[in-house]
Structure 1
Amino acid sequence: MSENKLKIVFFGTPEFAVASLDRLMKDGQDIAAVVTMPDKIAGRGHKLIQSDVKRYAVENGLRVLQPEKLKSPDFVEELRAINADLFIVIAFRMLPEVVWSMPRLGTFNLHASLLPKYRGAAPINWAVINGETETGVTTFFLKHEIDTGDIIEQRTIAILPEDNVGDVHDKLMTLGADMVAHTVMDIAAGNVTPQPQPEGEFIPAPKIFKDTCRIAWDRPATEIHNLVRGLSPYPAAWSTFEDSRTLGTFADVKIFETALCGDTPAGNRKPGEVIVAKDRLFVAVADGMLEIVSLQPAGKKRMGADAFLRGYKPERFV
């Protein structure tokens, strides 16, 4: 590494952040500490679950800090004692000013959208749900209001028609790691000229809740198709179906993949009514039909529509 090597504290939690941390390590940057969420108790065995970032940090011998409260005087003093040049934040909690204002070169965030579009907790999901054909990553310096700081760098990728949110996540994770490394080098060399975010282009990307994921079959096919893509493979769009063998009995099902049917009419069928044709599963929607390609009934594994139809006789989705 050159004389521009920086002492960095890295803040992050999920897999998305690990790629950037790994890239910085391979570039020879001085990762003085990693800050991540406290371990959580989860599952039937009540096991302690570590974040992806913590697992990587432990495996690579990095110092790990897991504060319950980011304003805790003990944590703030611990950070201050590190005397880092730069803080980097990727998929972490909102930092208080006492933290993000600490390093001499500031604190920058990697966000998985082309800011100011898709500010919020779920930018990748909402870009796909809204049918965008491109998205990207942004590095920007933190300030008081979340996701509003001055832009350092942006890079763009296409969202292909067949991409789901998992595909786009993985592309942005790799692209983002490269851009984080480049941003660090530019900051170290004094080659950054941050630009204010453009006005009037704000699109929200709020947190995804269970109700967000429920399919409304009285919507157009393209809208439902994009919702499924934007939630697949996780957390997954879902619906409830009535089985014709036991009318009045309903069960939940996750839907991972659909296919558009062009202008195929649904006849006089109401939205949600099922059409089965040669082991293929179609559902009437507002402007025609939509094919369900893969899905997962409650308590079962993910399966193709043909396998689903061998075990179930759906009458309608509601």
Structure 2
Amino acid sequence: MENRFKIFISGQKYFGEEVLRLCKNLNIDIVGVCCPLDDKYIGKAARRWNIPIIPAGTLTADKMPECDLGITAHSFDYIGKKTRYIPKHGWLGYHPSLLPRHRGRSAIEWAIRMKEPITGGTVFWLNAGIDRGDIAYQDWCWIPPAYYLEPSKSAAKLWRDELCPMGLKLFEIALKDVLNGEIKRKPQDNQFSTFEPDTNVKDIFRPDLLMIEHK
């Protein structure tokens, strides 16, 4: 009997579903999914294919099935140390920035707010830090100057038009390489690193949030 490559996915929404679909197209076994129980994308797809679901926020090493690779796809769950060590090759995630720039949950919007001309996406290996793991694959795209006028709306558009398709393309490259036994890792250069707060959280006791224009 063929010993097929096994993947576990922690994710949600459209991007999570598309990563699941990508794995199916590559003939990869998906041994489980961690997602919100009401997710209408990857959750619905997992139920359709009878893939076991672990509710978002409850993933632990005790619940995690043995597999070759873990993937985070639009996941906000923290993958703990014991859980990170269960997959044979570790965990790959996608972050919509050119890491080490713009670590954190609002990476796209901060690149726009800082009026940067380019941004990009990074598939990286998860470690204990937030968006700090070794880089596997990266690509870039332009930020049109008109986007600077409405950072929040523009961030959603840039994700939809550029960074979401880019992430799927990078995951496809990464998965094909891993399937062929090729593992790429390059440490992030921390002299260029930035970390910004979540723009959806307004806390007057956080001076770093004063960088955000309050409307």
**TM-score normalised by L of structure 1:** 0.57
> Using the alignment, how far apart are the partners of 1:138 and 1:4 within structure 2?
30
> Using the alignment, how far apart are the partners of 1:178 and 1:4 within structure 2?
26
Relative to structure 1, is the Cα distance of residues 194 and 32 closer, same or farther in structure 2, using a 3 angstrom cutoff? same
2:188 is the counterpart of 1:203: no
Q: Secondary structure in 2 aligned to 1:110?
A: strand
Aligned to 2:28: 29
Aligned residues: 199
2:119 is the counterpart of 1:135: yes
Aligned to 1:180: 171
Relative to structure 1, is the Cα distance of residues 14 and 20 closer, same or farther in structure 2, using a 3 angstrom cutoff? same
8 Å CA contact 2:12–2:39 kept in 1: the answer is no
Q: Out of 83, 88, 93, which is 2:66 matched to?
A: 83
Structure 1 window deviating more from structure 2 (60-69 vs 130-139): it is 60-69
Aligned to 1:169: 159
1:27 Cα offset (Å): 2.5
8 Å CA contact 1:34–1:65 kept in 2: the answer is yes
Q: Which amino acid aligns with 1:140?
A: F
Relative to structure 1, is the Cα distance of residues 210 and 99 closer, same or farther in structure 2, using a 3 angstrom cutoff? closer
Relative to structure 1, is the Cα distance of residues 34 and 138 closer, same or farther in structure 2, using a 3 angstrom cutoff? same
Q: Out of 87, 91, 98, which is 1:103 matched to?
A: 87
Judging by fraction of residues, say which structure has more helix.
2
1:83 Cα offset (Å): 2.0
Judging by fraction of residues, say which structure has more strand.
1
Q: Secondary structure in 1 aligned to 2:131?
A: coil
> Using the alignment, how far apart are the partners of 1:131 and 1:194 within structure 2?
29
Q: Which amino acid aligns with 1:99?
A: T
> Using the alignment, how far apart are the partners of 1:189 and 1:127 within structure 2?
35
Deviations 1:221-254 (A, max 9, x none): xx9xxx8xxxxxxxxx873xxxxxxxxxxxxxxx
Aligned to 2:8: 9
1:64 Cα offset (Å): 1.5
Aligned to 2:206: none
> Using the alignment, how far apart are the partners of 1:69 and 1:51 within structure 2?
19
> Using the alignment, how far apart are the partners of 1:193 and 1:7 within structure 2?
19
Q: Secondary structure in 1 aligned to 2:163?
A: helix
Relative to structure 1, is the Cα distance of residues 6 and 194 closer, same or farther in structure 2, using a 3 angstrom cutoff? same
Relative to structure 1, is the Cα distance of residues 85 and 201 closer, same or farther in structure 2, using a 3 angstrom cutoff? same
Deviations 1:69-98 (A, max 9, x none): 333xxxx3332xx32111011222111011
Aligned to 1:256: none
8 Å CA contact 1:18–1:56 kept in 2: the answer is yes
Aligned to 1:159: 143
| Structure 2: unaligned runs, 5 residues or longer | 148-153, 204-210
Structure 1 window deviating more from structure 2 (21-30 vs 59-68): it is 59-68
8 Å CA contact 1:110–1:137 kept in 2: the answer is yes
Relative to structure 1, is the Cα distance of residues 19 and 162 closer, same or farther in structure 2, using a 3 angstrom cutoff? farther
8 Å CA contact 2:101–2:195 kept in 1: the answer is yes
> Using the alignment, how far apart are the partners of 2:175 and 2:72 within structure 1?
12
Structure with bigger RCO (C-alpha 8 Å, 6+ apart): 2
Aligned to 2:208: none
Give 4+ residue runs of structure 1 displaced > 4 Å after superposition: none
Q: Out of 182, 197, 203, which is 1:191 matched to?
A: 182
Relative to structure 1, is the Cα distance of residues 134 and 103 closer, same or farther in structure 2, using a 3 angstrom cutoff? same
Relative to structure 1, is the Cα distance of residues 4 and 162 closer, same or farther in structure 2, using a 3 angstrom cutoff? farther
> Using the alignment, how far apart are the partners of 2:13 and 2:196 within structure 1?
18
